[in-house]
Amino acid sequence: MGDANGRTVGSGMRVLVMGGAGFIGSHLCERLLVDGHEVIALDDFSTGSPANVAHLMRSSRFWLVEHDVALPFDYEVDRVYHLASPASPARWRGDPVRSTLTNVMGTLHALLCAERHGARLLLASSSDVYGDPDVDPQPESYLGRVDPVGVRACYDEGKRCAEALVMAFHRQGRASGRIARIFNTYGPRMAIDDGRAVSNFIAQALRGEELTVYGSGSQARSFCHVDDLVEGCLRLMEHPAEVGPVNLGNPVEVTVLELAQEIVRLTGSASRIAFRPLPEGDPMRRRPAIDLARRALGFEPRVPLRQGLYATIQSFRRAMAGLDECARR
Protein backbone atom coordinates (compact mmCIF):
# COMPACT_ATOMS: atom_id res chain seq x y z
CA MET A 1 0.00 0.00 0.00
CA GLY A 2 2.01 2.99 -1.18
CA ASP A 3 1.53 6.66 -2.04
CA ALA A 4 2.67 8.29 -5.28
CA ASN A 5 6.32 7.95 -4.24
CA GLY A 6 5.92 4.26 -3.49
CA ARG A 7 6.14 4.86 0.26
CA THR A 8 3.94 3.17 2.82
CA VAL A 9 1.02 5.34 3.88
CA GLY A 10 1.90 7.10 7.14
CA SER A 11 5.54 7.63 6.18
CA GLY A 12 7.88 9.14 8.74
CA MET A 13 6.67 7.27 11.83
CA ARG A 14 8.68 5.79 14.72
CA VAL A 15 8.25 2.06 14.65
CA LEU A 16 9.21 -0.58 17.22
CA VAL A 17 9.90 -4.02 15.76
CA MET A 18 10.07 -6.66 18.50
CA GLY A 19 12.03 -9.61 17.15
CA GLY A 20 13.59 -7.26 14.57
CA ALA A 21 16.80 -9.30 14.28
CA GLY A 22 14.90 -12.43 13.27
CA PHE A 23 14.08 -13.77 9.84
CA ILE A 24 10.79 -11.95 9.16
CA GLY A 25 11.64 -9.06 11.50
CA SER A 26 14.81 -8.18 9.58
CA HIS A 27 12.89 -8.00 6.29
CA LEU A 28 10.22 -5.86 7.96
CA CYS A 29 12.85 -3.46 9.37
CA GLU A 30 14.43 -3.19 5.93
CA ARG A 31 11.09 -2.36 4.29
CA LEU A 32 10.12 0.16 6.98
CA LEU A 33 13.41 2.01 6.47
CA VAL A 34 12.89 2.06 2.70
CA ASP A 35 9.44 3.50 3.38
CA GLY A 36 11.01 6.38 5.32
CA HIS A 37 10.34 5.41 8.94
CA GLU A 38 12.55 5.37 12.03
CA VAL A 39 12.96 1.82 13.30
CA ILE A 40 13.89 0.48 16.73
CA ALA A 41 14.53 -3.27 16.63
CA LEU A 42 14.25 -5.02 19.99
CA ASP A 43 15.68 -8.53 20.23
CA ASP A 44 17.33 -10.92 22.68
CA PHE A 45 19.13 -12.76 19.83
CA SER A 46 17.84 -16.13 21.08
CA THR A 47 16.88 -17.31 17.59
CA GLY A 48 17.82 -14.19 15.60
CA SER A 49 21.15 -12.46 15.21
CA PRO A 50 22.59 -8.94 14.84
CA ALA A 51 24.09 -10.24 11.57
CA ASN A 52 20.59 -10.22 10.07
CA VAL A 53 20.40 -6.43 10.40
CA ALA A 54 24.10 -5.60 10.10
CA HIS A 55 23.42 -4.02 6.71
CA LEU A 56 20.83 -1.68 8.29
CA MET A 57 23.20 -0.32 10.94
CA ARG A 58 24.50 2.24 8.43
CA SER A 59 21.14 4.01 8.54
CA SER A 60 20.78 6.91 10.98
CA ARG A 61 17.11 5.92 11.31
CA PHE A 62 17.81 2.42 12.67
CA TRP A 63 18.58 1.31 16.24
CA LEU A 64 19.14 -2.23 17.49
CA VAL A 65 18.54 -2.88 21.20
CA GLU A 66 19.18 -6.14 23.06
CA HIS A 67 16.25 -6.90 25.37
CA ASP A 68 14.10 -9.83 26.50
CA VAL A 69 10.49 -8.81 25.79
CA ALA A 70 9.20 -10.97 28.65
CA LEU A 71 10.55 -8.09 30.78
CA PRO A 72 9.05 -4.55 30.67
CA PHE A 73 10.24 -1.92 28.17
CA ASP A 74 9.17 1.49 27.01
CA TYR A 75 9.69 3.38 23.74
CA GLU A 76 7.85 6.43 22.45
CA VAL A 77 6.63 5.09 19.12
CA ASP A 78 3.67 5.25 16.71
CA ARG A 79 3.62 1.59 15.74
CA VAL A 80 4.60 -1.66 17.47
CA TYR A 81 5.12 -4.86 15.50
CA HIS A 82 5.35 -7.82 17.90
CA LEU A 83 7.27 -10.60 16.15
CA ALA A 84 9.41 -11.66 19.10
CA SER A 85 8.91 -15.40 19.50
CA PRO A 86 10.74 -18.47 18.29
CA ALA A 87 8.92 -19.69 15.17
CA SER A 88 10.56 -23.04 14.57
CA PRO A 89 9.06 -26.03 16.42
CA ALA A 90 12.60 -27.25 17.12
CA ARG A 91 13.27 -23.93 18.90
CA TRP A 92 10.05 -23.40 20.85
CA ARG A 93 10.01 -27.03 22.02
CA GLY A 94 13.48 -26.49 23.51
CA ASP A 95 12.24 -24.29 26.38
CA PRO A 96 8.42 -24.43 26.53
CA VAL A 97 8.15 -22.23 29.64
CA ARG A 98 10.19 -19.47 28.04
CA SER A 99 8.27 -19.85 24.75
CA THR A 100 4.95 -19.42 26.57
CA LEU A 101 6.18 -16.41 28.54
CA THR A 102 7.69 -14.72 25.47
CA ASN A 103 4.31 -14.87 23.79
CA VAL A 104 2.14 -13.98 26.78
CA MET A 105 4.30 -11.53 28.77
CA GLY A 106 5.90 -10.14 25.61
CA THR A 107 2.45 -9.30 24.27
CA LEU A 108 1.41 -7.73 27.58
CA HIS A 109 4.49 -5.48 27.66
CA ALA A 110 4.00 -4.60 23.97
CA LEU A 111 0.39 -3.60 24.66
CA LEU A 112 1.32 -1.55 27.73
CA CYS A 113 3.94 0.28 25.66
CA ALA A 114 1.37 0.90 22.88
CA GLU A 115 -1.19 2.10 25.44
CA ARG A 116 1.24 4.58 27.05
CA HIS A 117 2.06 6.20 23.71
CA GLY A 118 -1.21 5.83 21.81
CA ALA A 119 0.57 3.52 19.35
CA ARG A 120 -1.04 0.88 17.15
CA LEU A 121 0.14 -2.71 17.65
CA LEU A 122 0.30 -5.64 15.26
CA LEU A 123 0.68 -9.12 16.71
CA ALA A 124 2.44 -11.73 14.59
CA SER A 125 0.16 -14.61 15.48
CA SER A 126 0.30 -17.96 13.74
CA SER A 127 -1.65 -20.58 11.84
CA ASP A 128 -0.75 -22.71 14.86
CA VAL A 129 -3.81 -21.23 16.62
CA TYR A 130 -5.76 -23.63 14.36
CA GLY A 131 -3.82 -26.63 15.74
CA ASP A 132 -4.28 -29.79 13.65
CA PRO A 133 -7.28 -28.53 11.66
CA ASP A 134 -10.23 -30.63 10.53
CA VAL A 135 -11.32 -27.89 8.13
CA ASP A 136 -9.44 -27.11 4.92
CA PRO A 137 -8.52 -24.42 4.03
CA GLN A 138 -8.72 -22.63 7.38
CA PRO A 139 -10.78 -19.42 7.47
CA GLU A 140 -10.40 -16.97 10.37
CA SER A 141 -13.79 -18.10 11.71
CA TYR A 142 -12.47 -21.64 12.31
CA LEU A 143 -11.91 -22.00 16.05
CA GLY A 144 -9.16 -24.59 15.78
CA ARG A 145 -8.27 -27.99 17.18
CA VAL A 146 -5.55 -27.40 19.75
CA ASP A 147 -4.54 -29.70 22.60
CA PRO A 148 -4.13 -27.27 25.51
CA VAL A 149 -1.77 -29.64 27.34
CA GLY A 150 0.04 -31.08 24.30
CA VAL A 151 3.73 -30.56 23.53
CA ARG A 152 2.83 -27.79 21.06
CA ALA A 153 0.68 -25.93 23.61
CA CYS A 154 3.49 -23.57 24.69
CA TYR A 155 3.40 -22.06 21.20
CA ASP A 156 -0.22 -22.68 20.10
CA GLU A 157 -1.79 -21.58 23.38
CA GLY A 158 0.85 -18.86 23.81
CA LYS A 159 -0.31 -17.33 20.52
CA ARG A 160 -3.99 -17.84 21.40
CA CYS A 161 -3.51 -16.05 24.72
CA ALA A 162 -1.58 -13.28 22.95
CA GLU A 163 -4.51 -12.82 20.54
CA ALA A 164 -6.93 -12.73 23.50
CA LEU A 165 -4.84 -10.02 25.18
CA VAL A 166 -4.74 -7.89 22.01
CA MET A 167 -8.53 -8.14 21.68
CA ALA A 168 -9.05 -7.34 25.39
CA PHE A 169 -6.93 -4.17 25.16
CA HIS A 170 -8.62 -3.26 21.88
CA ARG A 171 -12.18 -3.75 23.18
CA GLN A 172 -11.43 -1.74 26.33
CA GLY A 173 -10.10 1.09 24.16
CA ARG A 174 -6.65 0.80 25.77
CA ALA A 175 -4.63 0.07 22.60
CA SER A 176 -5.49 -0.23 18.94
CA GLY A 177 -4.64 -3.78 17.84
CA ARG A 178 -4.17 -5.77 14.65
CA ILE A 179 -3.80 -9.57 14.52
CA ALA A 180 -2.01 -11.29 11.62
CA ARG A 181 -2.29 -15.08 11.53
CA ILE A 182 0.87 -15.94 9.66
CA PHE A 183 1.23 -19.24 7.78
CA ASN A 184 4.54 -20.95 6.89
CA THR A 185 6.88 -18.27 5.58
CA TYR A 186 10.27 -18.74 3.94
CA GLY A 187 13.00 -16.72 2.27
CA PRO A 188 16.54 -15.42 2.60
CA ARG A 189 17.87 -15.10 6.18
CA MET A 190 15.95 -18.05 7.55
CA ALA A 191 18.30 -19.50 10.15
CA ILE A 192 20.17 -22.33 8.49
CA ASP A 193 20.03 -24.40 11.66
CA ASP A 194 16.52 -23.63 12.89
CA GLY A 195 15.05 -27.02 12.04
CA ARG A 196 12.27 -25.94 9.68
CA ALA A 197 11.42 -27.84 6.53
CA VAL A 198 12.60 -25.24 3.99
CA SER A 199 15.84 -24.38 5.81
CA ASN A 200 16.66 -28.01 6.68
CA PHE A 201 16.04 -29.28 3.16
CA ILE A 202 18.05 -26.51 1.45
CA ALA A 203 21.00 -26.86 3.85
CA GLN A 204 20.93 -30.66 3.56
CA ALA A 205 20.74 -30.55 -0.24
CA LEU A 206 23.61 -28.06 -0.50
CA ARG A 207 25.75 -30.17 1.83
CA GLY A 208 24.95 -33.33 -0.12
CA GLU A 209 23.30 -34.87 2.97
CA GLU A 210 20.06 -36.86 3.09
CA LEU A 211 16.91 -34.72 3.22
CA THR A 212 15.05 -35.66 6.41
CA VAL A 213 11.36 -35.98 5.59
CA TYR A 214 9.33 -36.62 8.75
CA GLY A 215 6.61 -39.27 8.52
CA SER A 216 5.61 -40.24 4.98
CA GLY A 217 5.89 -36.65 3.77
CA SER A 218 2.20 -36.64 2.86
CA GLN A 219 1.48 -33.84 5.33
CA ALA A 220 0.86 -30.59 3.46
CA ARG A 221 1.85 -26.97 3.99
CA SER A 222 1.44 -23.69 2.08
CA PHE A 223 4.63 -21.64 1.85
CA CYS A 224 4.60 -17.85 1.51
CA HIS A 225 7.61 -15.79 0.44
CA VAL A 226 8.71 -13.30 3.09
CA ASP A 227 8.32 -10.27 0.76
CA ASP A 228 4.63 -11.10 0.26
CA LEU A 229 4.17 -11.64 3.99
CA VAL A 230 5.79 -8.31 4.92
CA GLU A 231 3.53 -6.52 2.42
CA GLY A 232 0.50 -8.13 4.05
CA CYS A 233 1.63 -7.11 7.55
CA LEU A 234 2.17 -3.48 6.47
CA ARG A 235 -1.25 -3.36 4.81
CA LEU A 236 -2.96 -4.75 7.90
CA MET A 237 -1.14 -2.40 10.25
CA GLU A 238 -2.09 0.66 8.18
CA HIS A 239 -5.68 -0.37 7.53
CA PRO A 240 -7.87 2.21 9.27
CA ALA A 241 -10.40 -0.27 10.67
CA GLU A 242 -9.56 -3.94 10.08
CA VAL A 243 -8.43 -5.46 13.38
CA GLY A 244 -8.36 -9.08 12.25
CA PRO A 245 -7.49 -11.75 12.88
CA VAL A 246 -6.47 -11.87 9.22
CA ASN A 247 -4.79 -14.92 7.67
CA LEU A 248 -1.61 -14.02 5.79
CA GLY A 249 -0.03 -16.69 3.65
CA ASN A 250 0.08 -18.28 0.24
CA PRO A 251 -2.79 -20.72 -0.36
CA VAL A 252 -0.83 -22.88 -2.84
CA GLU A 253 -0.40 -26.19 -1.04
CA VAL A 254 2.40 -28.77 -1.43
CA THR A 255 3.19 -31.95 0.47
CA VAL A 256 6.41 -32.02 2.45
CA LEU A 257 7.72 -34.78 0.15
CA GLU A 258 7.01 -32.62 -2.92
CA LEU A 259 8.83 -29.73 -1.27
CA ALA A 260 11.88 -31.92 -0.61
CA GLN A 261 11.87 -33.20 -4.20
CA GLU A 262 11.58 -29.66 -5.60
CA ILE A 263 14.54 -28.51 -3.50
CA VAL A 264 16.65 -31.45 -4.69
CA ARG A 265 15.80 -30.46 -8.27
CA LEU A 266 16.47 -26.75 -7.83
CA THR A 267 19.81 -27.27 -6.05
CA GLY A 268 20.92 -29.91 -8.56
CA SER A 269 21.93 -31.97 -5.52
CA ALA A 270 22.67 -35.69 -5.55
CA SER A 271 21.09 -35.96 -2.05
CA ARG A 272 18.61 -38.74 -1.34
CA ILE A 273 15.44 -38.44 0.69
CA ALA A 274 15.36 -40.24 4.05
CA PHE A 275 12.21 -40.77 6.09
CA ARG A 276 12.29 -40.03 9.85
CA PRO A 277 9.63 -40.32 12.58
CA LEU A 278 6.88 -37.68 12.54
CA PRO A 279 7.13 -35.33 15.56
CA GLU A 280 4.30 -35.62 18.10
CA GLY A 281 1.28 -33.45 17.28
CA ASP A 282 2.57 -32.50 13.79
CA PRO A 283 -0.45 -31.11 11.88
CA MET A 284 -1.45 -33.02 8.71
CA ARG A 285 -2.22 -29.89 6.73
CA ARG A 286 -2.17 -26.10 6.87
CA ARG A 287 -3.62 -23.92 4.15
CA PRO A 288 -4.86 -20.37 4.59
CA ALA A 289 -8.18 -19.12 3.31
CA ILE A 290 -7.14 -15.57 2.36
CA ASP A 291 -10.50 -14.18 1.21
CA LEU A 292 -10.51 -11.65 4.05
CA ALA A 293 -6.94 -10.48 3.31
CA ARG A 294 -7.80 -10.15 -0.38
CA ARG A 295 -11.03 -8.25 0.28
CA ALA A 296 -9.93 -5.99 3.12
CA LEU A 297 -6.26 -5.44 2.29
CA GLY A 298 -5.99 -6.14 -1.43
CA PHE A 299 -3.40 -8.75 -0.41
CA GLU A 300 -2.21 -11.15 -3.10
CA PRO A 301 0.89 -13.34 -2.83
CA ARG A 302 3.10 -12.59 -5.86
CA VAL A 303 6.16 -14.83 -5.53
CA PRO A 304 5.68 -18.35 -6.97
CA LEU A 305 7.15 -21.12 -4.80
CA ARG A 306 9.76 -22.21 -7.35
CA GLN A 307 11.05 -18.67 -7.86
CA GLY A 308 11.10 -17.96 -4.11
CA LEU A 309 12.87 -21.24 -3.35
CA TYR A 310 15.46 -20.54 -6.03
CA ALA A 311 16.28 -17.12 -4.51
CA THR A 312 16.39 -18.65 -1.03
CA ILE A 313 18.77 -21.38 -2.23
CA GLN A 314 21.06 -18.71 -3.68
CA SER A 315 21.08 -16.83 -0.37
CA PHE A 316 21.83 -20.07 1.53
CA ARG A 317 24.73 -20.78 -0.85
CA ARG A 318 26.20 -17.36 -0.05
CA ALA A 319 25.54 -17.69 3.68
CA MET A 320 27.05 -21.17 3.88
CA ALA A 321 30.12 -19.99 1.99
CA GLY A 322 30.43 -17.16 4.54
CA LEU A 323 30.00 -14.59 1.78
CA ASP A 324 26.72 -13.05 2.83
CA GLU A 325 26.93 -10.20 5.34
CA CYS A 326 23.60 -11.41 6.71
CA ALA A 327 24.74 -14.98 7.24
CA ARG A 328 23.88 -16.26 10.68
CA ARG A 329 26.76 -18.65 11.04
Query: Where in the sequence numbering do the catalytic residues fall?
Result: 155
| Residue with Cβ nearer ligand UDP (169 or 183) | 183
Report the nearest approach of ligand NAD to the CB of residue 167 (Å).
Answer: 17
| Residue with Cβ nearer ligand NAD (225 or 239) | 225
Contact residue for ligand UDP among 279, 281, 296, 310 (CB under 6 A): 279
User: Using CB under 6 A, which residues numbered 158 to 197 contact ligand UDP?
Assistant: 184, 196-197
Nearest alpha-carbon partner for 159 in 170, 146, 171, 172: 146
Per CB under 6 A, which region of 50-58, 63-71, 208-216, 293-301 contacts ligand UDP?
208-216
Report the nearest approach of ligand NAD to the CB of residue 77 (Å).
Answer: 16
| Residue with Cβ nearer ligand NAD (138 or 184) | 184
Contact residue for ligand UDP among 102, 219, 267, 269 (CB under 6 A): 219
DSSP-derived secondary structure for 280-313: TT--SB--B--HHIIIII-----S-HHHHHHHHH
User: Using CB under 6 A, which residues numbered 233 to 272 contact ligand NAD?
Assistant: none
Contact residue for ligand NAD among 44, 157, 228, 238 (CB under 6 A): 44
Q: Greatest CA separation found in the chain?
A: 58
Rg over alpha carbons for the chain, rounded to the nearest Å, is: 19
63 binds, among ligand NAD, ligand UDP, none (CB under 5 to 8 A by kind): none
10 Å CB burial of residue 282 (0-12, 13-18, 19+) is: middle
Say whether residue 281 binds ligand UDP (CB under 6 A): no
Distance CA 105, CA 88 (A): 19
Distance CA 198, CA 206 (A): 12
Nearest alpha-carbon partner for 190 in 29, 326, 8: 326
Q: What are phi and psi of 232, to 5 degrees?
A: -65, -40
User: Using CB under 6 A, which residues numbered 65 to 94 contact ligand NAD?
Assistant: 68-70, 83-87
Which ranges constitute the DSSP H helices of 44-139? 89-92, 96-117
The site for ligand NAD (CB under 6 A) is made up of 19, 21-25, 43-48, 68-70, 83-87, 102, 106, 124, 126, 182, 184-185, 191
